[in-house]
Chain A
Amino acid sequence: MKTVFEKMEFCAANASRQEEAAFTQTLALLADENWRVRYAAAVALGDRRDPRAVDALVQALRHENEAPLFEQPKLPGSCPAGCNIPFEVIFPEGTTEPTKEAWRRRGRVIQAAFLALGSIGTAAPGVLELLHRYATDQSRDYGVRAAACKALGQIAAPESLAVLEKAAGDEETCTKWEAKKGLKAIRG
């Protein structure tokens, strides 16, 4: 298992297997240097629904939180959707490769980790705090806010009511719908 693709394949292939070694390996891949692998690992851990993955997911989220994910300015260089004409993006001077990787992934790993936490459904320490913070943070992408709301609905902890009520007024539809579903799940 050397390439990024092979590692991602491993995560997906072993998501539903109950072998301990596969679980341990997937947890390790959640800390892989390549975010695509981390994304695949988070999806797989959500599919596996093993509560033992919660700490690692929270740790992965904290790691993500330290990256400049949402600080990308609008960059010159683009092409229409589906276009096959190669083009270059002009980066500000001094943009490092880790920063580029952060910009490439924006909220993807966070979304996968949130959905995994929701799927596992455990209100472990730290989990609600993170989800509450992201659910209404307008500086995050709506894919992240919506995933936080969805996870809160799946965990269905009463202390999330206030956050979900606020998120239910989000201008963006996906977030609003997930928040409304979350409220319904908690209120019954």
Chain B
Amino acid sequence: MKKPFYIDDLEALREKLSRAERNETLMGQVWGSVLRRARNAPEHFPWFTPFAALVTGGQKEIEHAKDAIRGYIATLDPQGFGMGLQFHFWCLAFPHARWSLYFQWLAAIGAWDAGEEQHIREELLIFQYVNFFMGMRTKPEPECVDNQTMSLCFSNALLGHLFSESALARRMKEDGMRRLPSMIGGLPASGYSGEGSTYMDGVVGPSIPFIVELLERATGGDWFNKSLPPHGGSAENVCRMVAREWMPNGLLLPWDHYGYSIPTHSCVAYAARRMSDPFYSELLERHANWASAQGIGWGFDDLVWALIWWPETQPQSRAAFASWNEPEVGAALVSDDAQLYAMQMWDRSEPVFPTRSHVNPNALVLAAYGSPLTVDGIPSEACAAFKYEDTWREVAFMDLGETRKFNFGSGCAGSHSVILVDRWEGMRAFGEYRQADQLEFSASEKSAAADVTPIYREKFDDARCVRRRIRLCHERFWLIEDLVRFDREHQITARFFLRPRPVETARGVAIETAEGVRLWLFPLLGPDEKTVTLVKGYPDRLDGEAGESLQVDFTQRGAECRWLWLAWPEATRKIREEVSGHWQTAPDPESRFSFEQALEELTAAGIDIPLTMPPYLQRDLPIVRRWWFRRSITVPAGVASWLRLPKDMLNLRLWIHGEELDISPHRLRMKLLEPEIALPSKWSGQTIEVTLCCDTGYSQYAADGNQSNGFYGKPALLVEQPAPGVEQAEYRKNIVTVRSGGKEWSVTHSLMEESR
């Protein structure tokens, strides 16, 4: 009997998970949540069923897994008529590889009869050959190195390896294996593919363990640490970059395409297995959202692979979020307590059509006290912004019999927190050249700077210097410095995209986020001439009904333009008390309880559970979409208060003593952030009964929006805290002085010059 591929020692895996369950470790809880879903709702969690079958060996679990694979096989023929298979074949290649792998797992434990085993193997191989072998041959070798080609090469190599008794399989393996190392080696040495955090975290990163482990099993040696041709990329560097994209507030950087999102787990688990840096285990054990079971590589088995790679042995030491630097792409400055986070990016953008690799020369991401302050990403479909005259494109190769006309302006400079020249918002590169150079990074001084002149010089031949530097000073505030120098006069705009809502201020601009975090941003040097525009629909997430942000344009005219900005963050709320424990809960299987019925059910059900993730992830409870919760909370007297709830509670409704509060302003934002719901002052000082109703992800292919992602977080009661703002700030004689709340900070700051 063959071994289940990738699982070298099935008994050891079984023992690891069994021990974790017995010892009630986090790994044990995650395994329990996966197994319950596979057992109790296999039709809703098909991607968990082969793993459950393999680990338990139970007949019921094996039958569930076989049914899942039979279901997949039944989709193959109709898929042939869809534009997905015809034009986006790589999206189907990666999941096809894993369904084939899971078929092999079941074969390894003798789950199939000979006839069915042969039939399914042939179906899988034929489909692979005429679709994904074809797809791989469409992608030019060696030029194509991206997530699409990676998916295609991997699927051919894996099926070729799994079914090597077949000549078709061996043919696919030959080409797939030949190209596979260059899929890693063709990535930049930084580990950043340029496609954005979402693709890094959802496709490139999770591919790495599959590829490395396949190469090591098929050819021997170490494929994790070594830099590979043609560009020196390595699996290790990709994993490191995936982890670096995690922000301390639990979100991925809104780098390039898509914007803020929730991280996946499996790549970090693999990094924890292969590297000694305790940071990866820290992410898994203390920062990961384990109610999120989103897709990796167009399939929903992220948690399965996280459990497989997750090392049982914990590192001796803990690791905090730390500043990092990748000279080719960007740097992050993190305060010692991880409350203040800044990232400056200067990664290459795609010339001509910057679809995913956006034009973001020296763009900034700022976050404080858990709250994102700046935004980046993509607009909603209804968003009217960024449709610049010179950024329209029409293509005919993406769809059946149709052309698509779209505007790629949201990938250009105008939709980023960068310097614009003469208001050219569609700014982008047209040729291949080095677009930026890092000037400075100091982890101890917490400063970073980069020169991005070349991408401006391509259009403006008199450009001499476009530079930005950011510093985290006294672990308390940021200084941002811009230097723009041309031979001739130009209108220079320093554009920032900030979260709403604006707060009145005498200098610059100020905002207060929905989480009560304020940011003052104003020039200590350079003019304070500005416009502030509300952009509806950008980004397509977080605030407003369909996303919104503030576009802040500071402008000046000249051949040499400078700004030195103070960016001062401040939290206006603090946690008074955690209230995550002891919530009465009741499932609402048909999603139709009235409030009154729900109260009866809450009493009758007698279930007491922490409101941190869906109940069925914590205990053997029904896997249903709608849940009700109730708990008493004492509201502090005399201060404004908020109730923080877990993120991603779908269709949340909230009652206090039977009186419903309007939650709609939080609807979009709470997909990513824990909502903080203001408690009406009339309840001040009283013990209130809070009743909640929400939907949660209950199925990997649910049509109602949340698939299998559950809500996640720690409910808490927050109260206001003093936020004095900036009382005085100035830049004189190379010293920045800031006064706030009776305290004063000063820092020496020498301005950047054109020479290094």
Name the CB-closest residue of A to B166.
A9
Asked whether any CB of chain B lies closer than 8 Å to the CB of A88, the reply is yes
Are A143 and B126 closer than 8 Å at their CB atoms?
no
Name the CB-closest residue of B to A143.
B138
Enumerate chain B residues within 8 angstroms of A104, measured Cβ to Cβ: 77, 80-81
Partner of B74, one of A47, A77, A86: A86
Partner of B84, one of A81, A108, A115, A138: A81
Partner of A39, one of B46, B86, B130: B130
Are A39 and B129 closer than 8 Å at their CB atoms?
yes
Asked whether any CB of chain B lies closer than 8 Å to the CB of A78, the reply is yes
Asked whether any CB of chain A lies closer than 8 Å to the CB of B83, the reply is yes
Are A72 and B400 closer than 8 Å at their CB atoms?
yes
Asked whether any CB of chain A lies closer than 8 Å to the CB of B168, the reply is yes
Are B135 and A73 closer than 8 Å at their CB atoms?
no
Within 8 A of B (CB), among A55-103: 72-75, 77-89, 100, 103
Enumerate chain A residues within 8 angstroms of B74, measured Cβ to Cβ: 84, 86
Secondary structure call for the B interface? helix
Enumerate chain B residues within 8 angstroms of A43, measured Cβ to Cβ: 133, 171
CB distance from B665 to the nearest CB of A (A): 31
CB distance from B66 to the nearest CB of A (A): 11
Are A103 and B81 closer than 8 Å at their CB atoms?
yes
Size class of the contact patch on chain B: 35 or more
Asked whether any CB of chain A lies closer than 8 Å to the CB of B263, the reply is no
Enumerate chain A residues within 8 angstroms of B122, measured Cβ to Cβ: 3, 5
User: Can you list, as one digit per residue, whether each of A167-181 has a CB less than 8 Å from chain B (1) or not (0)?
Assistant: 000011110011001
Q: A74-B401, A142-B397 are in contact. Are A13 and B167 (CB under 8 A)?
A: yes
Asked whether any CB of chain B lies closer than 8 Å to the CB of A132, the reply is no
Q: A5-B125, A78-B82 are in contact. Are A174 and B140 (CB under 8 A)?
A: yes
Instruction: Give Cα A10 to B81, complex, Å.
Output: 27
Asked whether any CB of chain A lies closer than 8 Å to the CB of B11, the reply is no
Asked whether any CB of chain A lies closer than 8 Å to the CB of B9, the reply is no
Enumerate chain A residues within 8 angstroms of B84, measured Cβ to Cβ: 78, 81
Enumerate chain B residues within 8 angstroms of A5, measured Cβ to Cβ: 122, 125-126
Asked whether any CB of chain A lies closer than 8 Å to the CB of B316, the reply is no
Enumerate chain A residues within 8 angstroms of B96, measured Cβ to Cβ: 82
Are A174 and B396 closer than 8 Å at their CB atoms?
no
User: Can you list, as one digit per residue, whether each of A134-147 has a CB less than 8 Å from chain B (1) or not (0)?
Assistant: 00001001110011
Within 8 A of A (CB), among B394-408: 395-397, 399-402
Partner of B68, one of A3, A39, A84: A84
Asked whether any CB of chain B lies closer than 8 Å to the CB of A49, the reply is no
CB distance from A174 to the nearest CB of B (A): 6
Enumerate chain B residues within 8 angstroms of A173, measured Cβ to Cβ: 144
User: Can you list, as one digit per residue, whether each of B270-301 has a CB less than 8 Å from chain A (1) or not (0)?
Assistant: 00000000000000000000000000001110
Enumerate chain A residues within 8 angstroms of B143, measured Cβ to Cβ: 177, 181
Instruction: Give Cα A74 to B403, complex, Å.
Output: 13
Instruction: Give Cα A178 to B142, complex, Å.
Output: 11
Asked whether any CB of chain A lies closer than 8 Å to the CB of B457, the reply is no
Are A36 and B144 closer than 8 Å at their CB atoms?
no
Within 8 A of A (CB), among B143-172: 143-144, 166-168, 170-171
Enumerate chain B residues within 8 angstroms of A53, measured Cβ to Cβ: none
Asked whether any CB of chain A lies closer than 8 Å to the CB of B210, the reply is no
User: Can you list, as one digit per residue, whether each of B114-134 has a CB less than 8 Å from chain A (1) or not (0)?
Assistant: 000000001001100111011
Enumerate chain A residues within 8 angstroms of B433, measured Cβ to Cβ: none
Size class of the contact patch on chain A: 35 or more
Q: Which of A13, A81, A86 has the most CB of B within 10 A?
A: A81
Within 8 A of A (CB), among B77-128: 77-84, 86-88, 91-92, 94-96, 98-99, 122, 125-126
Name the CB-closest residue of A to B127.
A36
Q: A74-B83, A84-B71, A85-B75 are in contact. Are A36 and B130 (CB under 8 A)?
A: yes
Are A84 and B69 closer than 8 Å at their CB atoms?
yes
User: Can you list, as one digit per residue, whether each of A28-44 has a CB less than 8 Å from chain B (1) or not (0)?
Assistant: 00000000100110010
Q: Which of A4, A39, A47 has the most CB of B within 10 A?
A: A39
Partner of B140, one of A12, A78, A82, A178: A178
Enumerate chain A residues within 8 angstroms of B399, measured Cβ to Cβ: 74
Asked whether any CB of chain B lies closer than 8 Å to the CB of A8, the reply is yes
Instruction: Give Cα A64 to B392, complex, Å.
Output: 35
Asked whether any CB of chain B lies closer than 8 Å to the CB of A48, the reply is no
Are A4 and B81 closer than 8 Å at their CB atoms?
no
Asked whether any CB of chain B lies closer than 8 Å to the CB of A111, the reply is yes
> Top 7 nearest A-B pairs by Cβ distance?
A82-B95, A13-B167, A12-B167, A84-B71, A84-B72, A86-B74, A143-B138
19 contacts between A and B (CB under 8 A): A3-B122, A5-B126, A9-B167, A12-B167, A36-B129, A43-B133, A73-B401, A74-B401, A79-B701, A80-B298, A81-B88, A86-B71, A89-B78, A100-B81, A104-B81, A108-B130, A112-B134, A177-B143, A181-B140
Besides the known contacts A74-B399, A87-B75, 19 further A-B residue pairs in the complex with CB atoms under 8 A apart = A3-B122, A4-B126, A5-B122, A9-B166, A79-B78, A82-B95, A84-B74, A85-B71, A86-B78, A89-B78, A141-B87, A141-B397, A142-B397, A143-B134, A143-B138, A171-B393, A172-B395, A172-B397, A174-B138
